[in-house]
Structure 1
Amino acid sequence: GIDLETKIRNQYGSDRFFKTILDRPKDYRNFEVLEGLIYLNLDDRKVLGIPDVVIQGRRARELVIDEAHSLLAHLGYSKTLAYLRDHVWWK
């Protein structure tokens, strides 16, 4: 397996959008960098920003979807989508 959180943290610089947030975090008030991870601040929660990058031959977003589906014990599309909406964000 892979440590997805570490891989995401290490790949932000390869995504043009997230790189600008890392370079000028004060210009992006809706985002927060915590321990090297970028979060979007929504009204009631923070969601993890997922860069548009390839990790070990697969898109990071694909890996996140697979991880969520497994974490939820394969409960299906709608529950996985709801979980993703509550925990991650991508452009």
Structure 2
Amino acid sequence: GDSNLIEVIKKGYSKDPLIQSIILKPKEHRNFVVENNLVYLKRGNGELSLCIPPNTLLNGTSLRELLISEAHSLLAHLGYAKTSAYLRDNVWWK
């Protein structure tokens, strides 16, 4: 479920120097917001995108792969451009 995913994301944050810096010194990273120990990129339109830590696995699969696969399924195979736009609006990774 989602709570498991959230825990995996938070664990992944602990291994990423940029995200650690954002959590420890949020005022130095004005493009990011920390809420409930989750890090979000603040977009130009005010929307927030959840930051996904790199090299983080859930049940042996990369979170990024899982998110791309889920978005693709969710959007009923609307193609790369629409899937990519959906992900860009909702999640962020470097």
TM-score (norm 2): 0.82
Instruction: Decide whether the 8 Å contact of 1:15 with 1:53 is kept in 2.
Output: no
Offset at 1:6?
Answer: 3.1
Please name the residue that 1:88 is paired with. 91
Please name the residue that 2:56 is paired with. 54
Offset at 1:10?
Answer: 2.7
Distance 1:54 1:31 in 2: 20
TM-score (norm 1): 0.84
Counterparts of 1:10-25 in structure 2, within 5 Å, are 10-25=11-26
Identical-pair percentage: 49
Unaligned residue ranges in structure 1 (runs of 5+): none
Unaligned residue ranges in structure 2 (runs of 5+): none
**2:81 is the alignment partner of 1:78:** yes
Instruction: Please list the CA deviations of residues 34-82 of structure 1 after superposition, one character each: whole Å capped at 9, or x if unmatched.
Output: 1121101111111111110221322221121112112222322111101
Q: 1:5 to 1:71 in 2, by over 3 A?
A: farther
Instruction: Decide whether the 8 Å contact of 2:31 with 2:42 is kept in 1.
Output: yes
Q: Which runs of 4+ in 1 moved over 3 A?
A: none
Distance 2:73 2:52 in 1: 18
Please name the residue that 2:67 is paired with. 64
